[in-house]
Amino acid sequence: GIQVEQSPPDLILQEGANSTLRCNFSDSVNNLQWFHQNPWGQLINLFYIPSGTKQNGRLSATTVATERYSLLYISSSQTTDSGVYFCAVSGGGNQFYFGTGTSLTVIP
């Protein structure tokens, strides 16, 4: 399967700070999604971004498929951004491969 590495594994931010989360993957992909798992365990789809750049409010994401990485940017972080951020990729098969996540804690 496709190996997915996320960095950093843990991140603590002061409210209002910006951050960049990285996702590297080991093979060509045709699907990539970023998810936020909130402290209650719910998985929220943030971006479906197999290539290019997308923005949604304070969040944006960029995937450079040819170089096998994706970045998630969080600006002006808020305490509600806390949780685990997962990157998941698919190479055209039937499953998505998940990274082990970046655990983000935003402190007031």
Partner 1 sequence: NAGVMQNPRHLVRRRGQEARLRCSPMKGHSHVYWYRQLPEEGLKFMVYLQKENIIDESGMPKERFSAEFPKEGPSILRIQQVVRGDSAAYFCASSEQGKGYTFGSGTRLTVV
Establish if 101 lies at the interface with partner 1 (CB under 8 A).
Answer: yes
Q: With contacts defined by CB under 8 A, name the span among 20-28, 56-64, 74-82, 90-98 that binds partner 1.
A: 90-98
Half-sphere exposure of 90 (CA within 13 A, CB side): 10
CA 45 to chain centre: 10
- Cβ burial 61-86 (10 Å sphere, 16+ → b, else e): bbbebeebbbbbebeebeeebbbbbb
**Which residues 47-76 are close enough to bind partner 1 by CB under 8 A?**
48
Q: How far apart are the first and last CA of the chain?
A: 40
Per-residue interface string for the shown chain with partner 1, residues 1-30, x marking contact by CB under 8 A: ------------------------------
State the nearest-atom distance from the C-beta of 108 to partner 1, in Å.
25
Instruction: Write out the residues near partner 1 by the rule CB under 8 A.
Output: 31, 33, 35, 41-43, 45, 48, 86, 88, 93-101
